[in-house]
């Protein structure tokens, strides 16, 4: 292994940043885009769809934390002395 950051790590970092932005947008504006194939990009507003909105916010939080931990472990393995 030559070290450094590979292509998949950049894709994972980009996806993580996009999901973090979506999470922060959901928390600030009180609305979140539906995640999934059946909802066709429906927007859940906190005042109208509280359960679905919080479910998607917690899902986004879990995914962002999982991607962040995966990147942390990958970088720790690559750059250990």
- Residue range 8-57, pLDDT digits in tens: 777 888 888 888 888 888 888 888 877 667 777 777 787 787 887 788 88
Cβ burial, residue 40 (10 Å; 0-12/13-18/19+) = exposed
Q: What pLDDT, on the 0 to 100 scale, is given for residue 29?
A: 85
d(CA 37, CA 33): 12
Q: What pLDDT, on the 0 to 100 scale, is given for residue 3?
A: 53
Residue 63 near residue 15 (C-beta atoms within 8 A): no
Q: What pLDDT, on the 0 to 100 scale, is given for residue 20?
A: 87
Looking at the predicted structure, is the pLDDT value of residue 1 above 50?
Answer: no
């Amino acid at each position: 292994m030559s070290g450094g950051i590979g292509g998949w790590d950049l894709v994972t970092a980009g996806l993580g940043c996009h999901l973090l932005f979506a999470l922060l947008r959901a928390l600030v504006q009180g609305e979140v885009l539906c995640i999934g194939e059946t909802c066709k990009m429906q927007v859940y507003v906190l005042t109208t769809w509280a359960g679905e909105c919080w479910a998607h916010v917690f899902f986004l939080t879990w995914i962002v934390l999982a991607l962040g931990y995966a990147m942390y472990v990958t970088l720790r393995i690559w750059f250990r002395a």
